[in-house]
Structure 1
Amino acid sequence: MEMAYTTPDDYEDYPVITNRSTSTVCNTIDINDFCKNFLPRFYYVIFIASVLGNGVVLLVLYKFEKLNTVTNIFLMNLVASNIVVTLTLPFHAIHYSNQWIFGEALCKLVNSTDYLGFYSSILFLTLMTFDRYLAVVHCVVANKQRRTCYAVVLSAVVWIISLLASLEPYIHFTVEEYPIEGLVCEDTSNFQWKLFSLYKQFVLFFILPLTVFIYCYFRITLTVLATRMVGKHRTVRLIFVIVLMFFAFWSPHNIILMINGHGDPKQCSSLSYAEYVTSNMARLYFCINPVFYTFLGRKFQNHVRGVLVSQVPCLSDRISFSSSSRMLA
């Protein structure tokens, strides 16, 4: 997630230093140079990789899959969440390379959209995990309840919750002008709101999903081992790795946020570097998970080979695929 900018006037209220400003409390010149030289290029690379990766997932779903299955509805919504975050990256890249040139309306919209994609992505990962739990552990009940209407309604609920949660940055972000930085799109909320946002994100979008994942996969593992459901192993392993990688990329950032949010402002240099690095590690996830779909899903690999053969016929002698393969349904 893009961290809110904090200006020198905020130091008395909020100890987290995450901006490109400098002050007597914490000199961030080196951090500013790091962000200006590295982050724009990094965001452009993520943007291209994410558009291509998520685009391949959507293309394969459209060409080879039934779009009205429960799993594929959730998967399409997850990819849509990733794309929502991806579309904000060029704005952030330009912001770090120079200043905010898009006006206050887009400042609010871009940051709110960023949070919308992030929150919805977490919730759809949680929803997919819980759906797998129902399909494996309570398969009899799930076969009766898991219908298209069920997936559409739950997906709509996820987007509504994510939209409500992302209204806060729309309200609090604004454009300020500073002598050195120029125009900066930043969070102008007070310390109490920032602390509330920190705990909201940590509890609702980290601890709660983690609890659901641990419980669901513990029960799924026990069920698969007890019933020897060989056909389910690959599906469970695929979703498990996707979720595991999400927390591998997202946990460090949450830990740094909790430390930085209650730490000493004078120690901000190393923490600010860590906050930027872990924040962008988390962003990297949004272009990596399509890679897992491609390389861990055998049926998805088959679909991709089918796309290659259909687009480049000369590869048909070197690439084999089955036209009857189905995905995560």
Structure 2
Amino acid sequence: MDNYDYYDLELFFSNDSNDTGYPETVVNGEIVLCKKTDVVQFGTAFLPALYCAIFLVSLVGNGLVLCIIYKYEKLRTVTNIFLLNLVISDLIFASSLPFWAVYHKSEWIFGRGLCKLVGSCYSISFNSSILFLTLMTFDRYLTVVHAITLAQRRRAAYAFVSSIVIWVFSILASINDIVLHDVMDGGEGLLCEMTGYHQKFLTKLELLGYYRQFYLFFLVPLVIVLYCYTHITFRIMFTRMRKKCRGVKLIFVIVFTFFICWTPYNIVILLKAIKMSFGDQNDCSNTLDYALYVMRNFAYLYCCISPVFYMFLEKKFQNHFLKLLSKRIPCLKINVAT
């Protein structure tokens, strides 16, 4: 993710101005500062309330899924292990939103440690989410198309090892956010941004992050998912595997909705990368900034939507949910028994 865009402070740089806008410890060269006052005010007006709402809904939804997995499902299947990690990833993302809500409303007041930690939560949770969704799809592909079945212990070990690899890879992919995020004085308040190196170096890292996110964490998983579900669909159509079809439906809807939510955002990311690579560096147009605001926050809603699928598209989760409610609402016990 572009950290300057995330905090509403996008900078384009050249060598024909003496106005740096930041202390010498942040930028060692001369820059042209594109003022994004309108964009910042646009974000300040609605982002804090939106982030708080997403946090609460995500906390309740993912917390409920986590409770059901713990009480009823345990970690008996590979899908449940991957699903548990996906819920944890969503909760990591949601935990960062209250901090950003306060930040957009005023300034960064939480210190250097939380600046580094919270600044890395977004990219870690995004990377791990897309990888876990891709892995769930690939595992379903092996089970349905190639009928690969392993011993229970071996499958569990494979799921745990795969999960650890994904988390390690996601953290390594976010190392720039962990190392370079720091608190700095922006003149009108404290900022939590990528800083500490020459601005040209930070700009190159920013551009590299754009392309890495689009190709490695969006385009490649999209191709894998499309390939897997194309073969799964043909397999089901020709063999009428109805039982496996029910299991495929849940993952398919989750993955499909994920890409519906994230595709517009990644297209904007690619356009910004192209603009930085080949466009006029002194062009301070706000069009892509507004588009990024809208598409990015539309993508954030996925963390609220995904638990709904677990509750209402999978029969066993519906039954577990009713069991939980029946403990609080006695009249539901009859329906659960039925």
Question: Which TM-score applies when normalising by structure 2?
Answer: 0.86
Contact 2:12/2:34 (8 A) holds in 1:
no
Deviations 1:270-319 (A, max 9, x none): 211111111111111112100111121122112111111122213334x3
Matching residue of 1:118: 126
Contact 1:43/1:90 (8 A) holds in 2:
yes
Matching residue of 1:40: 48
Superposition pairs of residues 262-277 of structure 1, within 5 angstroms: 262-263=274-275, 264=280, 266=283, 268-277=285-294
**Aligned residues: CA RMSD:** 2.2
1:11 is paired with a residue whose SS is coil
How far apart are the structure 2 equivalents of 1:3 and 1:219?
Answer: 38
Deviations 1:73-115 (A, max 9, x none): 1110110111111111111111101000111221111111221
Q: RCO greater where, 1 or 2, for CA within 8 Å and sep 6 or more? A: 1
Deviations 1:146-171 (A, max 9, x none): 61111111111111111111111112
Superposition pairs of residues 85-164 of structure 1, within 5 angstroms: 85-139=93-147, 141-144=148-151, 147-164=155-172
Contact 2:12/2:32 (8 A) holds in 1:
no
Q: Which residue identity is paired with 1:258? A: L
Contact 1:2/1:279 (8 A) holds in 2:
no
Matching residue of 1:325: none
* Runs of 5+ unmatched residues, structure 1: 14-20, 323-329
Contact 1:119/1:205 (8 A) holds in 2:
yes
Matching residue of 1:210: 222
Q: Which residue identity is paired with 1:74? A: F
Selected match of 1:177 from 159, 167, 185 = 185
Q: 1:51 to 1:6 in 2, by over 3 A?
A: closer
How far apart are the structure 2 equivalents of 1:267 and 1:217?
Answer: 42
Q: Which residue identity is paired with 1:203? A: Y
How far apart are the structure 2 equivalents of 1:70 and 1:190?
Answer: 40
Contact 1:135/1:143 (8 A) holds in 2:
no
1:12 is paired with a residue whose SS is coil
Deviations 1:101-135 (A, max 9, x none): 11122111111122111111111111100111111
Length, aligned pairs only: 310
Question: Which TM-score applies when normalising by structure 1?
Answer: 0.88
Q: Which residue identity is paired with 1:245? A: T
Q: 1:306 to 1:114 in 2, by over 3 A?
A: same
Superposition pairs of residues 186-265 of structure 1, within 5 angstroms: 186-188=193-195, 190-263=202-275, 264=280
What is the CA distance between 1:67 and its match in structure 2? Answer: 1.6
What is the CA distance between 1:144 and its match in structure 2? Answer: 4.7
Contact 1:25/1:266 (8 A) holds in 2:
no
Matching residue of 2:12: 11
Matching residue of 1:320: 336
1:190 is paired with a residue whose SS is helix
Q: Which residue identity is paired with 1:153? A: V
User: Kindly, what percent of the aligned residue pairs are identical?
Assistant: 46
Contact 1:6/1:186 (8 A) holds in 2:
no
Contact 2:132/2:166 (8 A) holds in 1:
yes
1:179 is paired with a residue whose SS is coil
Q: Which residue identity is paired with 2:250? A: L
Q: 1:292 to 1:2 in 2, by over 3 A?
A: farther
Contact 1:104/1:175 (8 A) holds in 2:
yes
How far apart are the structure 1 equivalents of 2:47 and 2:8?
Answer: 18
Matching residue of 2:18: none
Q: Which residue identity is paired with 2:308? A: V
How far apart are the structure 2 equivalents of 1:311 and 1:321?
Answer: 15
How far apart are the structure 2 equivalents of 1:242 and 1:60?
Answer: 18
Matching residue of 2:81: 73
Q: 1:2 to 1:288 in 2, by over 3 A?
A: farther
How far apart are the structure 1 equivalents of 2:8 and 2:173?
Answer: 21
How far apart are the structure 2 equivalents of 1:235 and 1:89?
Answer: 32
What is the CA distance between 1:30 and its match in structure 2? Answer: 2.3
